Structure formats: structure tokens, C-alpha cells
Amino acid sequence: MCGIFGVYGHPNAAALTQLGLYSLQHRGQESAGIVAVDDTGVASLRRTMGLVSEGFADDDMRALNGPIAVGHTRYSTAGASAIENAQPILARVRRGHIALAHNGNLTNAVELRRDLEDTGAIFTSSMDSEAIVHRIARSTGATPEERLANALAGVEGAYCLLVVIDETFLAARDPHGWRPLALGKLGDAWVATSETCGLDIVGASFVRDVAPGEIVAIDRQGLRSMQAIAPEPLNRCVFEHVYFARPDSKVFGASVDRARRSLGRQLARECPAPDADLVFAVPDSSNSAALGYAEESGLPFEFALIRNHYVGRTFIQPTQAGRDAKVKVKYNPVREVIEGKSVVMIDDSIVRGTTTRGLVSLVRAAGAREVHMRVSSAPIISPCYYGIDTPRREELIAASLGPDELARHLGVDTLGYLSLDGMLGAVPTGPDGYCHACFSGRYPTALPNEPELLRAGALR
């Protein structure tokens, strides 16, 4: 998963972009980058592994001059975790440049890449996004938006893009609308961001979402909109509301906080725990859902798990060893809240079950009498090919264990998931127009031909 943020028409575009990336840090912690384009049309790029707060020195920010900037935070879903795979991508082409930041996964990336390599393209990364840059470089059109539109014809899957072609700023969203992308205004400047919390941090006001299949082009003449690709049935990612986005954001026209509370309330109706003493969240991603559960059930909401916010990125690494170590370093139970109590532990999702299992044993060790686990989404049973790093099916715990086995494996007294219909019905703008493939196994598009190649990032 990734976060993208961009500014057009502000003297401090790169500094604002850095701020925007701070607010999109939750969407990717592996690497970050900013491209800025100055008044003379010269583009500069700075990329770093790790966090936005650590990666950009004063010298870097001074080098990122000019009124146009695009930035990216990355969690790898296609391509390895390495600096050559950090975004934005900046390519010098013909007389100009192309800068590109991508959120999403292309489902025909393997074919796109082979076609390009067969005709001489040289790739410098293993990212699916690089294929789009090559296609833009080769495409023709009277305007930059037409060039981008031509490049995107034949590109399949999930993408939100921020692109700078020379001095034109472009924002594009795939015709299924998988990922969110919002437009805002800050004085005369334009801002584009994956989530609206990025508008808040720079003081910009929300204007509208980029529409599915739309390309927005901004240059000295102002803003132009083009329906580049006819809209297809909407496949907005329901997991953005369940887990990914920040609760202070609006995505797909709805407040994430409201969506999560409603998921929590629906969970309390579907899976009550009438004899429990209290409800607590696995912070932070399930805080709002746990509040919803407490509101609906009438049980008191408590802070029973404390999350360490200073856990370094060593523990956010996408490896099993990293994940195992993470649980104890990241969470500690509050014995005074839990001891002797029958508790409802709310989480937004269970992926591999590793974190959950570790948490349950911590909660038991702190003296819980009974542990009732409630999950504010349906069981995750299938991999995502559209930009979220869910693992292969074999590693998805709910795909291999039935409900009773899973409860035993996790060490809980009872386990309750939200139903698929309950989940989709609880999202304020639901139940239609959402992708739920990882929960239902019903993929809205043809699957990638070589899914494991795509997911392993070995696009060769």
C-alpha cells in the first residue's frame, strides 16, 4: 500500500508535500520520496528508505525547489523493499521529464513489462509502476492529459496516480475507483492526496474526489478534467474503511471514523458478549470500531492495551521474524484493567493470526478471566491483487482454519467476525460499489496471469 500527495502552484510545494507525507505515513513506512519542479522546469528528486521524519535533511529540502511537487510513502506490494523501488519515479525523456507516484497494483503488470522489454525498454526497478512511466514516454497526444490517457489505455488493475509531465500536474484514478484520491485547494494552489487528513495538515480545503477514470490536469491555464477512461463498475476497497485509512480522513465520500463505528455497532448486534465486563481495542486501527461496539452493547470501553508509538521501523519489516518480535515490543496490557475480568477484545482484522495470538496470550497473562475476540470485518480468506499486502492464501489463517479451530489456535474463549453483508451494509456509502475479494473470494476482475510473480515483485 502507499500514500501519494502532491501540490501545484505554491512556492513551498515540496515542504507542503513533506507535511502531507507525514499524514500519509500509515500508508507506507518502507520508503518515501519527493520530486519538485522549479520555475524553469527543472525537476529534482530525493528518496529515502524509512520514515518521512528521518529521511529528508535540510539540504534535501533546499534542493527541492519550485511550485510543483509530488510525494510518495511506500509499503511494497509489487517490487522488493529497496531504494531503487522507492517512489516517485523521475525519468528524463526527450526534451523533458516525467515524475510519477502510484498507489495500487496493476493486474497485468507482467504482460505490460514483457511487451515493453520486447521492444527495448530498460527497467531500473521491479515496480509495476515503472511500466506506466515507459508507456507515457512512448505515448503521443496533443496535451499531457491525452498522453497520460493514451498510456493508461490497456493498463489494468488499481491505480491512483500523481504525474508531472514537464510543468503539468496530473492526477488520475482507475475506472473502478479502487483507491481513494482527493483534491483540495490552498489559496490559489491545488493539493491532491490519498486521504483528506493530508489536506488538513497543510490547511487546504476539500474540493472533491478525483472520479473513477478521470484525469485532472493542472497548469498555468488552470484545472481541466477529462474522462479518460469510461467508468467501470465501482470496486472501491472496503478495507480502506476497515483498516487502512485514518479515522480522521474521508475516503470515497464517507468519514472513516463513522464507517468504523458503524462496523463496531453492527458487530455488537451480530456477535454480542452479554456477560462480559468491558470492551477494549487493539490500538490504533480498531479504536473507532471498539467505541462503536461499546456504544451499541452498553459495555464500558477501557484502555487495556498500551501501544508503544516509538517502535522503530525494524519492527515494521515485512518478514515473519520482524512481525513476531513486534507484538511484545509494540503492545503491553494494563493489568489493573484486565485482571479477573471477562473482556471483549476488538480488532479490525485478522491476517496471519500472529499478532492476535501473541496479544491474547499477553491479555491472559495479565489475568483476564475470559477473552472474547470480536473482529470488525469478515474473515480474510483470499489474497489482494489491488494494492494491499495481504499474504498468499496459505498464510491467511482464516482460509485454513474453521471458526472453532481458529478460536482454539488464537487461545480465545469465543471468536466472532462480522458477516460479509453486515460489513458491507455498515459502511456509510455501502453496500454496493465495493471490492470485497479478500473477504469473499469473489474477484471483480480477471486475476493476474502470474499472480505470485506479481506479488513477489520478481517482474522479470
Which chain residues interact with ligand 5GP by CB under 6 A? 243, 282, 285, 347-356, 388-389
For ligand SF4, the binding residue among 34, 388, 418, 426 (CB under 6 A) is 388
Return d(Cα 16, Cα 277) in angstroms, integer: 46
Site string for Mg ion, 87-126 (x = CB under 5 A): ----------------------------------------
Cβ 174 to ligand SF4, closest distance in Å?
11
User: Beta strands of 187-318 (E only): which ranges?
Assistant: 189-193, 205-209, 214-219, 222-227, 236-237, 250-251, 254-255, 278-281, 301-302, 305-307
Q: How many residues bind Mg ion (CB under 5 A)?
A: 1
- Our finding on whether 356 is near Mg ion (CB under 5 A) is no
Q: Which does 436 bind (CB under 5 to 8 A by kind): ligand SF4, Mg ion, ligand 5GP, none?
A: ligand SF4
Return d(Cα 257, Cα 370) in angstroms, integer: 28
Return d(Cα 350, Cα 285) in angstroms, integer: 12
Q: Going by DSSP bridges, is the β-strand pair 342-347/43-49 parallel, antiparallel, or unpaired?
A: unpaired
Cβ 242 to ligand SF4, closest distance in Å?
8
Cβ 274 to ligand 5GP, closest distance in Å?
25
Q: Which does 129 bind (CB under 5 to 8 A by kind): ligand 5GP, Mg ion, ligand SF4, none?
A: none
CB closer to ligand SF4, 169 vs 417: 417
Reduced to 3 DSSP states, what percent helix, strand and coil does the chain have, rounded to the nearest 5? 35, 25, 40
CB closer to ligand 5GP, 68 vs 282: 282
Q: Which does 435 bind (CB under 5 to 8 A by kind): ligand SF4, Mg ion, ligand 5GP, none?
A: ligand SF4
Return d(Cα 181, Cα 159) in angstroms, integer: 10
Cβ 91 to ligand SF4, closest distance in Å?
28
Return d(Cα 439, Cα 380) in angstroms, integer: 5
Return d(Cα 278, Cα 304) in angstroms, integer: 9
Cβ 410 to ligand 5GP, closest distance in Å?
8
Return d(Cα 297, Cα 270) in angstroms, integer: 11
- Our finding on whether 423 is near ligand SF4 (CB under 6 A) is no
Residue the block writes with cell 482484522: 349
Identity of residue 420: L
Cis peptide before 284 (omega within 30 of 0): yes
Cβ 396 to ligand 5GP, closest distance in Å?
9
Return d(Cα 444, Cα 404) in angstroms, integer: 30
Site string for ligand SF4, 64-103 (x = CB under 6 A): ----------------------------------------
Return d(Cα 28, Cα 14) in angstroms, integer: 19
Select from 94-102, 105-113, 280-288, 411-419 the region that touches Mg ion (CB under 5 A): 280-288
Cβ 312 to ligand SF4, closest distance in Å?
26
Contact 331, 359 (CB under 8 A): yes
Contact 328, 362 (CB under 8 A): yes
- Our finding on whether 1 is near ligand SF4 (CB under 6 A) is no
Q: Which does 251 bind (CB under 5 to 8 A by kind): ligand 5GP, Mg ion, ligand SF4, none?
A: none
Site string for Mg ion, 146-165 (x = CB under 5 A): --------------------
Scanning residues 229 to 288, which ones bind ligand SF4 (CB under 6 A)?
Answer: 237-239
- Our finding on whether 249 is near Mg ion (CB under 5 A) is no
435 labelled catalytic: no
For ligand SF4, the binding residue among 436, 454, 455, 459 (CB under 6 A) is 436
Cβ 285 to Mg ion, closest distance in Å?
4
SS3 readout for 387-414? CCCCCCHHHCHHHHCCHHHHHHHHCCCE
For the four alpha carbons of 171, 173, 179 and 184, in that order, the dihedral sign comes to positive
Q: Which does 36 bind (CB under 5 to 8 A by kind): Mg ion, ligand SF4, ligand 5GP, none?
A: none
CA nearest neighbour of 164 among 95, 38, 67, 69: 69
Return d(Cα 256, Cα 238) in angstroms, integer: 11
- Our finding on whether 285 is near Mg ion (CB under 5 A) is yes
Which positions touch Mg ion (CB under 5 A)? 285
Interface residues with ligand SF4 (CB under 6 A)? 178, 237-239, 384, 386, 388, 435-438
The residues that are catalytic are 2
